[in-house]
Amino acid sequence: MPDWLLDRSTVIGLAIVGGCFSVLASWCQSRGLLSNQKVNWLNKAAYVFMAVSIILFIGAGMFGAER
C-alpha cells in the first residue's frame, strides 16, 4: 500500500472534504438551491469521504504508518 495513502494529511484531508460536502448539502437544501436528489447525492458523497478517512485512520493505526 502506498505510504501517502496512510499519511496523516491524506486522512485529515478526506475528512475535511467530506465535512465540506455535508455542510454544502445542508446549506443548499435550506436555501432550496438543489433538488432533493442532488442533496442526497452530496450527502452520500460526504459519507463516502468520511468513511474512507475513518478506514484509512484505522489502517494507519494497525499497520503502523511511521512518521
Domain residue limits, the chain: 3-63
Structure confidence by residue, pLDDT tens digits, 6-27: 889 999 999 999 999 999 999 9
Structure confidence by residue, pLDDT tens digits, 15-65: 999 999 999 999 999 999 999 999 999 999 999 999 999 999 998 888 865
Tell me, what's the pLDDT at 48?
97
Instruction: Please state the pTM of the whole predicted model.
Output: 0.85
Cell of 11: 486522512
Tell me how far apart the alpha carbons of residues 59 and 6 are, in angstroms, rounded to a whole number.
Answer: 7
Tell me how far apart the alpha carbons of residues 38 and 55 are, in angstroms, rounded to a whole number.
Answer: 26
CA nearest to 15, candidates 59, 52, 61, 65: 52
Number of Cβ within 10 Å of residue 29's Cβ equals: 17
